Each structure stands twice: as C-alpha cells, then as structure tokens.
A and B are shown apart, each in its own frame.
Chain A
C-alpha cells in the first residue's frame, strides 16, 4: 500500500493568514493526489483533484501543487469557514489511501 504522510498534524492560524500544509507519498504517485476538507461532524468535501485542479464551486483561495511524492495545499487567506481537518488521498493505485489529516484551528 502507498503510505500518505501529512504535516503538520495540526496548526494554529488566524483569519486572513496564508496557510500551507504538506502531504508526502511513500512512492511516486505522479499527480494522482486529491485533497478533502472535513468540517466537524460532516462528510469530507472534495477540494482539489489531480494535485492542482480546483473542484467546481471551491473558492480560489485554495491551491494545490506538487507531483511525484511531495504535495502542498495552500489557503491564501484563511476564512472562518476554513477551520477544519484536511486530508490528502492518493488515487494512483488501489487500495486508495488517505493521509492522517492536518487540523487547522484558531
């Protein structure tokens, strides 16, 4: 299985901050990397697929980058509704696997 490792596990930030979180794969996954946002008690929501393609309806302050084994999700100006847990997921090979999450908190 491909292992996905996210860092940091949590971060504290303020509204308006620029925030970046990292996801690393245990082997190259090209750009088969997807990002989800999970707000407490809710189902995950797809933000970015294919490492950098913004899902329809997702605000442009979210940006994904990277290829191979190293990826990043950046929120350019943190909004109150962005406080959540963010998960990366590889779709290069089954079993699809997720990172352990990065919690963005105040």
Chain B
C-alpha cells in the first residue's frame, strides 16, 4: 500500500522560505493527485494545495501568492515551498494523496512539525 513520509527543517526563520518534501513508497508518484494540508496547534485543518504528476496545480487562494508545489518523478517525491513565512505558518504539515481526483485524502503522511521563529 502507498505510504507517505514528510521531511524538512523543523525550524524556519521569519521571512524565509519553508521547504518540505513528501516521499512516496509502495506506489508511484505518477498515479495520484498530491496535496499538502496543515494544522496549527489545537486548530483545524487547512488545505494548502495540490499537484498532479503532470504538473497541474491548484492552490488555496489564501496562500497562492506564496506557495509553489513540484513533483520529482525520478525520486518518487513531491514538494512544497512557502515563501515569506511568519509565525502564523507554524503548524503540523501533512502530505496526502487523492487517488481518484475526487478530493478526498487517503493516505496521509504522519506529519512534520514546522515552527517559524528567529
């Protein structure tokens, strides 16, 4: 079965760029739509955006000016970059798959915490 694992720095300075990668195992990055979702401590879930292996993307308008997603088919990975981060970007970041393009998420990675602080 497909499994996902997020990786990236846990601490990012304000105004810098947050970069995270999600590694896909047990399947191909070519077969799903891939999303990033975040959750601030004690808060709900916020969809950041998604990418297809073909390169098409949809971003949440609330973050669109700061987000870029990409796929690396040779390494079976996909990534997200969020620029000009502030403390409001501190959250647990999850990657998730959408197998059917119906907008529901399964599987999920375990999540990686990111703190924005100087």
Residues of A within 8 A of B (CB): 1, 32, 34, 36, 42-46, 49-50, 55, 87, 89-92, 94-101
Contact = CB atoms under 8 A, between A and B. Distances in A.
Interface of B: 35, 44-47, 49, 58, 60-62, 94, 102-106, 108-111
A28 to B, nearest CB: 16
Contacts, number: 59
A92 B110 CA distance: 26
A24 to B, nearest CB: 15
Tell me the dominant secondary structure on chain B's binding face.
Answer: loop
A50 B102 contact: yes
B103 A43 contact: no
A89 B44 contact: no
Nearest to B48: A95
Given A43-B94, A43-B111, A98 B47 contact: yes
